[in-house]
Structure 1
Amino acid sequence: NINDRVAEKGSSIGESVAKTLQKDVLKALSQIIDPDFGTDIVSCGFVKDLVIDEALGEVSFRLELTTPACPVKDMFEQKANEVVAVLPWVKKVNVTMSAQPAKPTFAGQLPHGLSRISSIVAVSSCKGGVGKSTIAVNLAYTLAGMGARVGIFDADVYGPSLPTMVNPESRILEMNPEKKTIIPTEYLGVKLVSFGFAGQGRAIMRGPMVSGVINQLLTTAEWGELDYLVIDMPPGTGDIQLTLCQVAPLTAAVIVTTPQKLAFIDVAKGVRMFSKLKVPCVAVVENMCHFDADGKRYYPFGKGSGSQVVEQFGIPHLFELPIRPTLSASGDSGIPEVVSDPLSDVARTFQDLGVCVVQQCAKIRQQVSTAVTYDKYLKAIRVKVPNSEEEFLLHPATVRRNDRSAQSVDEWTGEQKIQFGDVAEDIEPEEIRPMGNYAVSITWPDGFSQIAPYDQLESIERLVDVPPLSPVEV
Structure 2
Amino acid sequence: MRTLRSDVRAISRRSVTRFASAAATPPVAPNQPPSQLLTPEEQVLAKLRNVIDPDFGEDIVACGFVRQLEVDASVGFVSFTLELTTPACPVKEMFQRQSTQFVKELPWVRDVSIKLTAQPPKPLLPESGRPGGLAKMGAKLHAHVFVSRVGIFDADVYGPSLPLMVNPEIKVLEMDPATKAIFPTEYEGVKVVSFGFAGQGSAIMRGPMVSGLIQQMLTTAAWGELDYLVVDFPPGTGDIQLTLCQTVSFSAAVIVTTPQKLAFIDVAKGIRMFAKLVVPCVAVVENMSYFEADGKRFFPFGQGSGERIQRDFGLPNLVRFPIVPDLSAAGDGGQPLVVADPTSATAAAFMDLGAAVVREVAKMAGRPARQAVYYDPQKDVISVQLPGETEFLLPPVVVRENDTSATSIDEWTGQRKRDEVPQDARPAAINPLGNYAVQISWSDGFNQVASYELLDELRRYAVPCQGPVAITLPGGLTAEAQL
TM-score w.r.t. length of structure 1: 0.84
What is the aligned counterpart of 1:449 among 447, 450, 460?
Answer: 447
2:374 aligns to what?
373
Q: Report the CA distance between 1:239 and its aligned residue.
A: 1.5
Q: Report the CA distance between 1:404 and its aligned residue.
A: 2.4
Partners of 1:63 and 1:97 within 8 A in 2: yes
Q: Deviation digits for residues 293-349 of structure 1, max 9, x if unmatched?
A: 122221111111111211222222211111111111111111110111111111121
Q: Deviation digits for residues 83-136 of structure 1, max 9, x if unmatched?
A: 11001211111112122233244268654651x4239xxxxxxxxxxxxxxxxx
Partners of 2:130 and 2:246 within 8 A in 1: no
2:462 aligns to what?
463
Partners of 1:256 and 1:287 within 8 A in 2: yes
Tell me the distance in 2 between the aligned counterparts of 1:102 and 1:205: 37
Give the SS at the match of 1:319.
strand
Q: Percent of counterpart pairs with the same letter?
A: 59
Q: Which moved more, 1:430-439 or 1:322-331?
A: 430-439
Q: Which moved more, 1:197-206 or 1:337-346?
A: 197-206
Q: Deviation digits for residues 252-289 of structure 1, max 9, x if unmatched?
A: 00000111233222111111111111111111111001
Tell me the distance in 1 between the aligned counterparts of 2:270 and 2:389: 34
2:438 aligns to what?
440
Q: Is residue 199 from structure 1 mapped to residue 218 from structure 2 by the alignment?
A: no
Alpha-carbon distance change, 90 to 371 in structure 1, aligned in 2, over 3 angstroms: same
1:265 aligns to what?
265
Alpha-carbon distance change, 17 to 182 in structure 1, aligned in 2, over 3 angstroms: farther
1:134 aligns to what?
none
Partners of 1:117 and 1:224 within 8 A in 2: no
Q: Report the CA distance between 1:431 and its aligned residue.
A: 2.4
Tell me the distance in 2 between the aligned counterparts of 1:334 and 1:198: 17
Q: Which runs of 5+ in 1 are unaligned?
A: 1-13, 120-144, 468-474
Partners of 1:113 and 1:219 within 8 A in 2: no
Matches within 5 A, 1:422-441: 422-423=420-421, 427-441=425-439
TM-score w.r.t. length of structure 2: 0.82
Amino acid at match of 2:45: L
| Cα RMSD, aligned residues only | 2.5
2:480 aligns to what?
none
Tell me the distance in 2 between the aligned counterparts of 1:252 and 1:18: 47
Q: Is residue 152 from structure 1 mapped to residue 171 from structure 2 by the alignment?
A: no
Q: Which moved more, 1:424-433 or 1:265-274?
A: 424-433
Q: Report the CA distance between 1:26 and its aligned residue.
A: 1.3
What is the aligned counterpart of 1:73 among 86, 92, 96?
Answer: 92
Amino acid at match of 2:431: R
1:326 aligns to what?
326
Give the SS at the match of 1:251.
strand
Tell me the distance in 2 between the aligned counterparts of 1:414 and 1:208: 36
Amino acid at match of 2:382: I
Amino acid at match of 1:371: A
2:10 aligns to what?
none
Q: Report the CA distance between 1:206 and its aligned residue.
A: 2.2
Amino acid at match of 1:49: Q
1:64 aligns to what?
83
Tell me the distance in 2 between the aligned counterparts of 1:192 and 1:102: 21
Q: Report the CA distance between 1:189 and its aligned residue.
A: 0.7
Q: Is residue 97 from structure 1 mapped to residue 98 from structure 2 by the alignment?
A: no
Q: Is residue 33 from structure 1 mapped to residue 52 from structure 2 by the alignment?
A: yes
Amino acid at match of 2:320: E
Amino acid at match of 1:346: T
Tell me which protein shows more helix as a share of its residues: 1
Alpha-carbon distance change, 31 to 171 in structure 1, aligned in 2, over 3 angstroms: same
Alpha-carbon distance change, 424 to 172 in structure 1, aligned in 2, over 3 angstroms: closer
Give the SS at the match of 1:68.
coil
2:101 aligns to what?
82
Q: Which runs of 5+ in 2 are unaligned?
A: 1-32, 139-144, 467-483
Q: Is residue 165 from structure 1 mapped to residue 165 from structure 2 by the alignment?
A: yes
Q: Report the CA distance between 1:215 and its aligned residue.
A: 1.2
